[in-house]
Amino acid sequence: MDEKLLSIGVFARRSRLSLRALRLYDHLGLLSPAVVDPDTGYRRYRDDQLFTARLIVGLRRLDMPLSEVARVLSAPRRVGAEVLEEYWESVERRLAFQRALAERLGDSLRGGQTPLPTFRIRERDVPETILISEIKEVDLPGLRQTIAGAIARLSGRVADHGGAVGAPWVIFHGEVNEDSDGPVEIGIPVRTASVGTRCEPAHTEAHVTITRAQWEWPQVLSAYDAVEDWIDLQRRSSLGSPRKIYRTGVDPASVGPADQVCDIAFPITPATR
């Protein structure tokens, strides 16, 4: 059997992966050696594992995150291809947004003004809300996983507070971008107040409903900008942190690009009469 196995050095050369990368992918469960010597720890790979290794190389060259690489590898090949297509469609949407942003920024540097994408901004009155929540400092790459983990934990506790009375909120008390880490508050509206809950005061808010495609980073930034511009045009002021308010029963990861997933909202001063 040893004659049919490749040493880690040969496998690294033929797969175009470094020894460090192979050890990392083994640790992550993406590409484990066929045999590890229990005495020396020496690793050997099967020749047919080169397909997986070269697939990882290609996916990483597309800047695919390791979490998405894991989805591709763990699925049947047909499903993995669909995951790849979905990922690349999101990349193209992001690139289209960035191209438009670059044009808008360049236009502003030249003294012009390119209009933002059109959004329908509305306002509504929000009653006092009891929230069970967690506050986290998180960077941009970890944001989605942090939100999902907090929602899962909070969902297990809502029964202690009379049950949920709405979909999750994500309140951005600080910026989360390439240079900032929040903090972010993830909360679920519940029926009764007790230890571990807080009260969000009643307020008026400006909001816009966005689709899954608009929800992706950085496309979502256009929605925030549009709401803030609307607030300025109405001669109103923001009174609190911006937030995402999700649709009840909607999992953004499992819906189509055109499906509505959440509202982007800002608490604002009431209209003058």
Going from the C-alpha of 7 to that of each of 21, 26, 165, 226, the distances in angstroms are 15, 15, 58, 56
Residues in the chain: 273
Q: Considering only CA atoms, which of 91, 61, 57, 94 is closest in space to residue 73?
A: 57
224 lies in some domain? yes
Q: What is the pLDDT of residue 158?
A: 94
Half-sphere exposure of 215 (CA within 13 A, CB side): 25
**Domain shared by 134 and 219, yes or no:** yes
**Is residue 167 in some structural domain?**
yes
- The residue among 16 and 193 whose pLDDT is bigger is 193
What per-residue confidence (pLDDT) applies to 30?
A: 92
User: What pLDDT, on a 0 to 100 scale, did the predictor assign at position 113?
Assistant: 64
Q: How far apart are CA 160 and CA 145, in angstroms?
A: 24
DSSP state of 261: E
Above pLDDT 70, what percent of the chain?
96
Least confident range of 103-107, 122-126, 234-238: 103-107
**pLDDT score of 116:** 58
Residue 100 counted as domain residue: no
Does 215 map to a domain? yes
264 assigned to some structural domain: yes
Sorting pLDDT into bands at 50, 70 and 90, what band is 129?
Answer: very high
- The predicted pLDDT at position 9 comes to 87
Angle at the Cα of 221 (from 62 to 245), degrees rounded to 5? 110
Q: Are 201 and 153 in contact (CB under 8 A)?
A: no
Which pairs with CB-CB distance under 8 Å and at least 24 residues apart come from 6-11? 6/44, 6/45, 6/46, 6/47, 7/42, 7/43, 7/44, 8/33, 8/42, 8/43, 8/44, 8/45, 11/44, 11/45, 11/49, 11/50, 11/53
- If asked whether residues 23 and 126 sit together in one domain, one would say no
Sheet of 43-46: strands edge to edge? 5-7, 43-46, 35-36
Q: What is the mean pLDDT of residues 57-78?
A: 91
Shared domain for 133 and 245, answered yes or no, is yes
Give 217 or 10, the one with higher predicted confidence: 10
Tell me how far apart the 2 most distant CA atoms of the chain are, in Å. Answer: 85
Same domain, 156 and 34: no
CB atoms within 10 A of CB 245: 19
Q: Is the pLDDT of residue 1 over 60?
A: no
| pLDDT top residue among 102 and 58 | 58
Using the predicted structure, report yes or no on whether residue 135 has a pLDDT greater than 50.
yes
Lowest-pLDDT range of 37-51, 93-107, 187-201? 93-107
Which CATH number does the domain housing residue 177 bear?
3.20.80.10
Domain co-membership, 70 together with 126: no
131 in a structural domain:
yes
49 DSSP assignment: G
258, 212 Cβ separation under 8 angstroms: yes
Count the domains in the chain: 2
User: Would you place residue 45 in the very low, low, confident or very high pLDDT band (cuts 50, 70, 90)?
Assistant: very high
pLDDT surpasses 50 at 15:
yes
Q: Are residues 63 and 165 in the same domain?
A: no
Same domain, 238 and 141: yes
Same domain (yes/no): 205, 141: yes
Stretch (H or E) spanning 115? none
Query: Other CB atoms closer than 10 Å to residue 160's CB: what's the count?
Result: 14
* pLDDT reading at 105 higher than 80: no
Report how far apart, in Å, the C-alpha atoms of 71 and of each of 48, 61, 79, 193 are: 20, 16, 9, 40
In a domain, 109, yes or no: no
Question: What's the pLDDT at 255?
Answer: 85
Q: Are residues 171 and 57 in the same domain?
A: no
What integer best gives the mean pLDDT of the chain? 89
Domain boundary among 44, 74, 104: 74
Same domain? 9 vs 129: no
Question: Are 39 and 168 part of one and the same domain?
Answer: no
Give the residue from 16, 48, 74 where a domain finishes.
Answer: 74
pLDDT, tens digit, for every residue of 203-234? 999 999 999 888 887 778 889 989 998 999 99
Radius of gyration of the chain (CA): 24
Q: Could you report the per-residue pLDDT of 163-181, keeping only the tens digit for each?
A: 999 999 999 999 887 778 8
Residue 140, pLDDT > 90, answer: no
Q: What is the identity of the amino acid at 117?
A: P
Range of the structural domain that residue 204 is part of: 122-268
Average pLDDT over residues 36-58: 89
Based on the fold, state whether residues 247 and 157 are members of the same structural domain. yes
The CATH number given to whatever domain includes residue 24 is 1.10.1660.10
| Residue 103 covered by a domain | no
